[in-house]
Amino acid sequence: MAFSSDEIDRYARHLVLHEVGGPGQNKLKQSKVLVVGAGGLGAPVLYYLAAAGVGTIGIIDHDTVSVSNLQRQIVHTTARVGVSKTSSARETLQGLNPHVHVVEHNHRLTAENALEIVSGYDVVADGCDNFPTRFLVSDACFFARKVLVSAAVGQFDGQISTFKPHETSPEGTPWPTYRCLMGEIPLRGLFPACEEAGVLGALPGILGSMQAMEVIKEVLGIGDSLAGRLLMYDALATRFYETRLSWNPDNPINGRNATITSLVAENYLDR
């Protein structure tokens, strides 16, 4: 796929990288990435994927922009308060890179539509802010056989991992799924949302930028994947910690005796 003169100038710093070059930039141009949530995490993911030249970027979010979002959701502006987040994000991304095609999914992700939406993309970046949706996204990616890069943030800390349980690890077992990490949907209130607990605005920028990096690595097939690893960041101590994630043979979606064989709404209710 040929590049225009503007694209050659725009991606010049990619084109000189041995690990990217013209073939890699073409992979990015032909790739399709879905970002779940155009909020604190989704905003930097969207920015950097668009800047990198990902050809098609899908955004799913049913919310509208509010003033309280702007402390961390950098893809939106004060002038767009009250506008749908997908529309606001699309305007920003197209202003940044007119070569990127942005697809708006201005509605909730549900058990009824998740598989169809996820199936239209190559990689999914999940930046949502609630556990039922995280579990739904993970399960949909498993059934659609799509790579998932998932991140979450607290007040001053965050975590990120890559999930591809439809593939086999070097040990011969499946890679772990999100359900191997979390087990089941936590009880409501066990992990307060940011509107209750607060979050330092720059923190999701760090984790979201890391998500974008991991998505790009998966598209290009370079570097070491975060599959089977959980990377945690303590912002106050400025420290990173890593732990291994293993496949749980008893997990209900890709365990030895799987009980979840399709997306059913009852599996994604707040507890």
- Give the lowest-confidence range in 22-26, 144-148, 192-196: 192-196
Specify if 21 maps to a domain: no
Per-residue pLDDT at 231 exceeds 70: yes
pLDDT given at position 186: 83
Specify if 77 maps to a domain: yes
pLDDT given at position 2: 84
CATH of the domain at 151: 3.40.50.720
The β-bridge relationship of strands 229-234 and 239-244 is: antiparallel
pLDDT given at position 203: 97
pLDDT given at position 269: 84
Specify if 231 maps to a domain: yes
The b-or-e profile of 72-101 (16+ CB within 10 A means b, else e) is: bbbbbeeebeeebbbbbbbbbbeeebebbe
Q: Can you tell me the mean pLDDT for 216-239?
A: 98
Specify if 144 maps to a domain: yes
Q: Can you tell me the mean pLDDT for 48-59?
A: 98
Q: 171-218 pLDDT, tens per residue?
A: 999 999 999 999 888 877 666 666 777 899 999 999 999 999 999 999
Count of domains for the chain: 1
pLDDT given at position 262: 94
Specify if 3 maps to a domain: no
Specify if 24 maps to a domain: no
Specify if 251 maps to a domain: yes
Q: Can you tell me the mean pLDDT for 4-14?
A: 97
Specify if 16 maps to a domain: no
pTM: 0.96
Q: 82-111 pLDDT, tens per residue?
A: 999 999 999 999 999 999 999 999 999 999
Q: Can you tell me the mean pLDDT for 49-77?
A: 97
Domain limits for position 168: 31-268
Q: How far apart are CA 113 and CA 129, in angstroms?
A: 19
Mean model confidence pLDDT for the chain: 95
Crossing angle for the helix pair 21-30 and 202-220, to the nearest 10 degrees: 110
Q: How far apart are CA 165 and CA 145, in angstroms?
A: 8
